[in-house]
């Protein structure tokens, strides 16, 4: 065993990636996963309808409300939350089993859910992906063209509340350029892996 | 002011880089400084004789024993220590002034001195640069050809004691390949800069 193995933790890191709707979480996460070995994404369960191009089991586990309720009642979700009138939840057993093998797990999760996970598992690394400004966030939401004006206004109003929770997170990554944000995210994971266990 | 500026600390980071003699601290530090803007190296004061190629004021402040004693007595050193029969010390005022401007300062410092700084300034980021193994460290020390057999044996024996202090450090970076070690060091600094102030 090498000197550094002796001081390294055996379990995987649980990484929470949150940020307001429209900040670019999906693009950053996809590029990050392609460039940082040893991290897998947890596939969230949701009651919302698939968007164009989304695949069941790859992007989300798409469930109907009854199936989702059953998982909640059976304690099979690490956390769940209602966001924009849909439910989202994190399958507990899959997360725990994957961490136990030493693989890092990243959860793409709304702020409400992210903080619930952080409370339940305080060693989780909570990363907030922020836009450079609220104005830039609005521009990005409008360029997405998938949402109605009413949706956009609701998302912007939610975003302002979410930005106020930044102090409850561990790290802040600004998504100004995709490449810089991905590099910063990768650095946070490599640094966390280099931390010495006390 | 951007969203991320609001949550960013204003003062520079104090970074302590330690590791046993021969592990490659100088090579890693030189490459790191060349690739990571916003970090400056603190020039240590020492009573040891310059090695070939070392320049006063750039590599060390070379002082005689009387000058060094005067600085110790005047409280002008953040820490000082005797290593391999020579004194080394960190000029306090220069470090404090540089951190106050928001620039990060890195101290290349022996384990004894590194832990003294960490005790005095608990927010310092203490990074231990470790060889892959003790055998590899011995190989590196022998390839340096600047030390006598007796020196090499003393350094190896000191190294074993220093490796036992790894749990008192914050981060462990293995110097297996120079490029990986420099990348890891850069990641730790970028991650620390991304931490949210509570």
Assess whether pLDDT exceeds 80 at residue A23: yes
In a domain, B175, yes or no: yes
The reported pLDDT for the residue numbered A145 is 67
The reported pLDDT for the residue numbered B113 is 87
Sheet architecture: strand order including A171-174 = A39-41, A104-108, A14-18, A125-130, A171-174
In a domain, B89, yes or no: no
Q: What is the pLDDT of residues B105-121, one digit of tens each?
A: 999 988 988 999 999 99
In a domain, B82, yes or no: no
Of B103, B99, B82, B78, residue with least CA distance to B90: B78
Interface test with A, best of B2, B4, B20 (most A CBs within 10 A): B4
Report the gap between the CA of A73 and the closest CA in chain B (Å): 35
CATH number for the domain spanning B9: value is: 3.40.50.300
In a domain, A158, yes or no: yes
| Structural domains of chain B, count | 1
Q: Cα separations (Å) of A44 from A25, A47, A79, A91, B51?
A: 14, 10, 10, 7, 59
Assess whether pLDDT exceeds 90 at residue A83: no
Of B63, B99, B68, B94, residue with least CA distance to B81: B68
In a domain, B156, yes or no: yes
Interchain contact, B166 vs A3, CB within 8 Å: yes
Q: Is A37 on the interface with B (CB under 8 A)?
A: no
Kind of pairing, strands B44-46 and B86-91?
Answer: antiparallel
pLDDT, chain A, mean: 92
The reported pLDDT for the residue numbered B173 is 97
In a domain, B158, yes or no: yes
The reported pLDDT for the residue numbered B145 is 67
Q: Six-digit token pair at A28?
A: 């950053």
The reported pLDDT for the residue numbered B197 is 82
In a domain, B122, yes or no: yes
Rounded to two decimals, the ipTM of the complex is: 0.87
Residue ranges making up the domain that contains A151: 3-42+102-194
Q: What is the pLDDT of residues B57-71, one digit of tens each?
A: 888 999 999 999 999
Of A195, A183, A123, residue with least CA distance to B125: A195
Strands (DSSP E) found in chain B: 14-18, 39-41, 44-46, 60-62, 77-83, 86-91, 104-108, 125-130, 171-174
What's the rounded mean pLDDT across residues A12-38? 94
Of A193, A194, A172, A196, residue with least CA distance to A184: A172
Q: Which residues of chain B have pLDDT under 70?
A: 1, 145, 198
Q: Which residue has the tokens 């990074």?
A: B127
Name the pLDDT band for A67 (thresholds 50, 70, 90).
Answer: very high
């Amino acid at each position: 065993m090498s000197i550094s193995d002796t001081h390294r933790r055996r379990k995987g890191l649980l990484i929470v990636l949150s940020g307001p709707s429209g900040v670019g979480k999906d693009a950053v996460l996809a590029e990050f996963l392609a460039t940082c070995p040893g991290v897998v994404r947890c596939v969230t369960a949701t009651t919302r309808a698939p968007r164009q191009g989304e695949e069941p089991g790859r992007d989300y586990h798409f469930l109907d409300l009854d199936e989702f309720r059953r998982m909640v009642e059976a304690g099979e979700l690490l956390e769940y939350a209602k966001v924009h009138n849909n439910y989202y939840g994190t399958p507990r057993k899959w997360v725990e089993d994957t961490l136990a093998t030493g693989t890092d797990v990243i959860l793409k999760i709304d702020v409400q859910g992210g903080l619930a996970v952080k409370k339940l598992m305080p060693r989780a690394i909570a990363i907030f992906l922020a836009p450079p400004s609220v104005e830039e966030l609005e521009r990005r939401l409008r360029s997405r063209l998938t949402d109605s004006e009413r949706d956009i206004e609701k998302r912007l109003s939610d975003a302002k509340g979410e930005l106020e929770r930044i102090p409850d997170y561990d790290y802040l990554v600004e998504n100004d350029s995709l490449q810089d944000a991905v590099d910063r995210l990768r650095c946070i994971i490599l640094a966390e892996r280099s931390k010495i266990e006390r």
